[in-house]
Amino acid sequence: MAGETVLVVGGAGYIGSHTCLDLANKGFKPIVFDNFSNGHREFVKWGPAEEGDIRDRARLDEVLAKHKPAAILHFAALIEVGESVKDPVAFYENNVIGTLTLLAAAQAAGVKAFVFSSTCATYGLPQSVPLDETHRQVPINPYGRTKYIVEQALADYDRYTGFRSVVLRYFNAAGADFEGRIGEWHQPETHAIPLAIDAALGRREGFKVFGTDYETRDGTCVRDYIHVLDLADAHVRAVEHLLRGGESIALNLGTGTGTTVKELLSTIERVSERPFPVEYAGRREGDSHTLVANNDKAREILGWTPQYDLSQIIRSAWNWHAKSNQH
């Protein structure tokens, strides 16, 4: 499989760029397709870039004809839950209509392998923890619903047209390339680790914790933080699975280990050696108290095992934000 071309849609973004790095390290040829609305041209380092939008069928056809990829990795989505509530139309236009346009172009071009970036938000409020892939899917916001709609479409495409795909449901992506070449860079930033690191760096006044009275070991929410390079590795393994003729499947990507907000903040203080102000506030509507993955299926199907623990996640993120961040 080495030498195969892979079209990485949204490859200039956070997870997409780290996956391009992993693809290149494993002998694939990544081609970035991005409209650069949220991605960064500076992150295109391991192959050429083609500028375009997933809603533009003519541009997709042109790029697919030019590069003839064996597989497509699809990361191009609007992801901010709060924004999905404020502007659901934009999320349906990009995440649903854009993805269906991309799928039509992929089928027409004869692409045989499609890996979709999904989310644990498709599960909604957890009925049991850790969550496995059989957990009911009842998303509670437009972001989660748009991802779930695409998952249903992919299941139908497989069932009725033989178009095979791997759906990867992320838990909390975190960390950065250990060499500091790329990392997390969202505008605006809404994720806990970069916000807390910015507080430790003095770029923010402090960090706000929402909810201290949950039924968890210290009262704060529990999340499953997974290193972005572990996510990237899983995506490349998913491509290899499909190119070997593997069947369509949906898989959780998490470590299986939960971390409370207080534990996260203490790890950041320990790694950075910089205490920072923390404000405690009431619960935030829609927050689940615990989101932790059961990742047995990904281990079994892909032979995938997360390599990095929370301290390594924080050290790589600290290195990126402290030294290399473009802000």
Tens of pLDDT, residues 173-208:
999 999 999 999 988 888 999 999 999 999 999 999
pLDDT class of 326 with cuts at 50, 70, 90: low
- Furthest C-alpha separation in the chain: 56
Looking at every residue in the chain, the average pLDDT score rounds to 95
For the record, the structure tokens of 324 come out as: 């290399």
pLDDT class of 324 with cuts at 50, 70, 90: low
Of 16-30, 72-86, 129-143, 160-174, where does mean pLDDT reach its minimum?
72-86
Which one, of 33, 100, 43, lies nearest residue 72 by Cα?
Answer: 33
Residues 6+ apart with CB under 8 A from 65: 109
For the record, the structure tokens of 271 come out as: 């790694």
Tens of pLDDT, residues 253-271:
999 999 999 999 999 999 9
Which domains does the chain show, CATH number per domain?
Answer: 5-174+227-254 (3.40.50.720), 192-223+257-297+306-323 (3.90.25.10)
Q: What pLDDT score does 79 carry? A: 84
DSSP reduced 3-state for 310: helix
* Active-site amino acid positions: 143
Which one, of 197, 187, 239, lies nearest residue 78 by Cα?
Answer: 187
| In 75-141, beta strands by DSSP E | 113-119
For the record, the structure tokens of 2 come out as: 């080495």
Q: What pLDDT score does 284 carry? A: 83
Which one, of 209, 205, 177, lies nearest residue 192 by Cα?
Answer: 209
| In the chain, beta strands by DSSP E | 5-9, 29-34, 49-51, 71-74, 113-119, 165-170, 172-174, 207-210, 222-223, 225-227, 249-253, 259-260, 278-281, 290-291
Structural contact between residues 61 and 101, judged by C-beta atoms closer than 8 angstroms: no
Tens of pLDDT, residues 70-113:
999 999 999 888 888 899 999 999 999 999 999 999 999 999 89
The alpha carbon torsion through 95, 100, 104, 107 (nearest 10 deg) reads: 80
